[in-house]
Chain A
Amino acid sequence: MKILVPVKRVIDYNVKPRVKADQSGVDLANVKMSMNPFDEIAVEEAIRLKEAGKADEIVVVSIGEQKAQETLRTGLAMGADRGILVVADAMPEPLAVAKILAKVVEEESPDLVILGKQAIDDDSNQVGQMLAALLDWPQGTFASKVEPADGKVNVTREVDGGLETLSLSTPAIITTDLRLNEPRYASLPNIMKAKKKPIDEKTPADYGVDTAARLEVLKVIEPPKREAGEIVPDVDTLVAKIKEKGFAA
């Protein structure tokens, strides 16, 4: 079984994003960037399937600026076998990303594509579902458990009321939720080894995909700031405040 894992280079989750004064976006200059945390979980899941003898090749693919190569190297250091970098000047929208990935899937013919459920920058939560639509494959989104067996894959999903398990025919799309696994750190020897693993470089044009934006971003602003309130000295004062506000009699 072959697994394709798309990975996105995003602002590190520990960094507090700052909106630019000209309202054109979030300031990413000199900000620590990392692999989207959900994508790390996707890479980890693929590696675990390989370690369990259920997969034999893992291909990581990233779409974005040239520096997304670093993100691919992270995936390779974790244990993926090779990478594909699709260099785009501006980050394409989710639909265009899904279209590029659909072409990569055509070329690579994976049995599973495992993606993060959302990127922590645009918070769209779309690409996996869109890719599934374009390929006409089934989708197991927000997965907290993935069990391939006999040409099918069982996916347990985190839904509003709790958990739900679906059985999907393969090939299939899976998007990861937080509790699917805990991603490993790459060891130093593996980071060194990853430098020698092959990365193929492409452009959206190579795949014949139009990446023109459909959404015009008119402005990006900071949300209204919440003023910090008061520190109360003791439980009695807190009780008084709660009653004052009418939350308890």
Chain B
Amino acid sequence: MSTLILADHDNKELAPATLVAVTAAAKLGGDVHVLVAGEGSQAVADAAAKIAGVAKVLHADDAAYGHALAENLAPLVEGLMGDYDYLLAPATSTGKNVLPRVAAKMDTQMISEIVAINDDGSFDRPTYAGNAISTVKSSDAKKVITVRGTAFDKADAEGGSASVEAVSGAGDSGKSSFVSAEIAESERPELTSAGIVVSGGRALQSGENFEKIIEPLADKLGAAVGASRAAVDAGYVPNDYQVGQTGKIVAPELYIAIGISGAIQHLAGMKDSKTIIAINKDEDAPIFSVADYGLVADLYKAVPELTEKL
């Protein structure tokens, strides 16, 4: 038995979520191989070869793969799947974009965002914004799966010494091309892998208040900054800050929700955090039903005081 993992990366660094997929693959048993498809991505292939538990790295380096266009990646991955029983990818925006396209080409019903692998070969996955956990068993010959980044530990990034083999595919489909990207550079920890997350909601009222109230607390704690959909929709912070059913799924050691009501769509993205603190002026806010420590207070007074006293 063997598994191919589609690595997530930006041509320079391997995304940590890839390490989570490696752990899931190890749980399936058999050989674990990693496909690094990119452009000028040698450093990523080298990093993948060092992951503990990875037996081989397939490296496809071509301009066509530089921006992870699904139209170009899917035929490459499908072409390599002859030798494998499982195709895995972390449930990142790239994994979610590319894997269903590969699955359909393979006539396989993909299994999205698994959170557990059971001994009988079935998988658990959250549905209904995490309000129901479905256990499903696939009858497809080969299985295509995305893995939720918070569900398994990260494999050791060091300790492996896999061989790196160059592979190639059909290259550019001519159907799509990359135009531009707005990717924010931040000194802060990345949201999905941070140990502490401080999130703000609609109550912040402006981007300026995010900077004045949320960020100093995050800096004090060495935390990543997140947000509710309402705060993103209102333009206080960029889209990649959104935590929730349709945003990012986080499970840090500590999650601090400030001026967030706790709609089920938001809870879906953070309720597996180890410790949750909520600050809200409404004592009936649903966020308090999942909080370990709740403070009923006006955030404009309480948060600066908290930051100062820490």
Chain B residues whose CB sits within 8 angstroms of the CB of A140 once the complex forms: 176
Query: B112 touching A126 by the CB < 8 A rule?
Result: yes
A218–B124 CA distance with the chains assembled, in angstroms: 10
Return B146 CB to nearest CB of chain A, in Å.
9
Query: A235 touching B175 by the CB < 8 A rule?
Result: no
Chain A residues whose CB sits within 8 angstroms of the CB of B297 once the complex forms: 235
Query: A222 touching B100 by the CB < 8 A rule?
Result: no
A188 beta carbon closer than 8 Å to chain B: no
Chain A residues whose CB sits within 8 angstroms of the CB of B233 once the complex forms: 178-179
A205 beta carbon closer than 8 Å to chain B: no
Cross-chain contact of B101 among A93, A139, A216 (Cβ < 8 A):
A139
Cross-chain contact of A138 among B110, B176, B275, B295 (Cβ < 8 A):
B176
Query: B100 touching A220 by the CB < 8 A rule?
Result: no
Query: A117 touching B135 by the CB < 8 A rule?
Result: no
Chain A residues whose CB sits within 8 angstroms of the CB of B290 once the complex forms: 226, 228
Query: A247 touching B104 by the CB < 8 A rule?
Result: no
Query: A161 touching B183 by the CB < 8 A rule?
Result: yes
B128 beta carbon closer than 8 Å to chain A: yes
* B96-139, CB < 8 A from A: 96-105, 107-113, 122, 126-139
B82 beta carbon closer than 8 Å to chain A: no
A228–B122 CA distance with the chains assembled, in angstroms: 31
A242 beta carbon closer than 8 Å to chain B: yes
Query: A129 touching B70 by the CB < 8 A rule?
Result: yes
A214–B129 CA distance with the chains assembled, in angstroms: 23
Cross-chain contact of B310 among A158, A218, A248 (Cβ < 8 A):
A248
Q: Is the interface of A mostly helix, strand, loop or mixed?
A: mixed
Given the known A-B contacts A26-B132, A228-B289, A235-B309, are A94 and B110 also in contact in the complex, defined by CB atoms under 8 Å? Answer: yes
A98 beta carbon closer than 8 Å to chain B: yes
Q: Is the interface of B mostly helix, strand, loop or mixed?
A: mixed
Closest to A23 in B: B135
* A103-122, CB < 8 A from B: 117-118, 120-122
Query: A160 touching B136 by the CB < 8 A rule?
Result: no
* A201-249, CB < 8 A from B: 213-223, 226, 228-232, 234-236, 238-239, 241-243, 245, 247-248
B238 beta carbon closer than 8 Å to chain A: yes
Chain B residues whose CB sits within 8 angstroms of the CB of A226 once the complex forms: 271, 276, 289-290
* B236-291, CB < 8 A from A: 238-240, 245-246, 248, 253-254, 264-265, 271, 275-277, 283, 288-291
Looking at A61-69, A72-80, A83-91, A165-173, the stretch in contact with chain B turns out to be A165-173
A130 beta carbon closer than 8 Å to chain B: yes
Query: A223 touching B246 by the CB < 8 A rule?
Result: no
Return B179 CB to nearest CB of chain A, in Å.
4
Chain A residues whose CB sits within 8 angstroms of the CB of B293 once the complex forms: 229-232, 238, 241
Cross-chain contact of B180 among A131, A165, A177, A223 (Cβ < 8 A):
A165
A241–B225 CA distance with the chains assembled, in angstroms: 21
Chain A residues whose CB sits within 8 angstroms of the CB of B265 once the complex forms: 13
A214–B98 CA distance with the chains assembled, in angstroms: 20
Cross-chain contact of B93 among A120, A130, A159, A222 (Cβ < 8 A):
A159
Number of interface residues of A (CB under 8 A): 82
A94–B264 CA distance with the chains assembled, in angstroms: 24
Chain B residues whose CB sits within 8 angstroms of the CB of A219 once the complex forms: 134-135
Query: A16 touching B131 by the CB < 8 A rule?
Result: yes
Query: B136 touching A217 by the CB < 8 A rule?
Result: yes
A117–B232 CA distance with the chains assembled, in angstroms: 18
Given the known A-B contacts A158-B93, A159-B93, A232-B295, are A239 and B253 also in contact in the complex, defined by CB atoms under 8 Å? Answer: no
Closest to B271 in A: A226
- CB pairs A–B below 8 angstroms (23 shown): A17-B128, A26-B128, A123-B245, A133-B102, A138-B71, A138-B173, A157-B93, A163-B182, A164-B182, A164-B183, A165-B178, A167-B177, A169-B174, A214-B108, A214-B138, A218-B136, A222-B132, A229-B276, A230-B294, A231-B294, A231-B296, A238-B277, A241-B277
A26-B132, A139-B176 known; 10 new pairs, CB 8 Å cut-off, are A95-B104, A123-B128, A129-B100, A133-B101, A160-B94, A166-B178, A218-B137, A220-B132, A220-B134, A229-B294
Binding site for B on A (CB under 8 A): 11, 13, 16-17, 19, 25-26, 38, 93-95, 98, 117-118, 120-134, 136-142, 144, 154, 157-169, 177-179, 213-223, 226, 228-232, 234-236, 238-239, 241-243, 245, 247-248
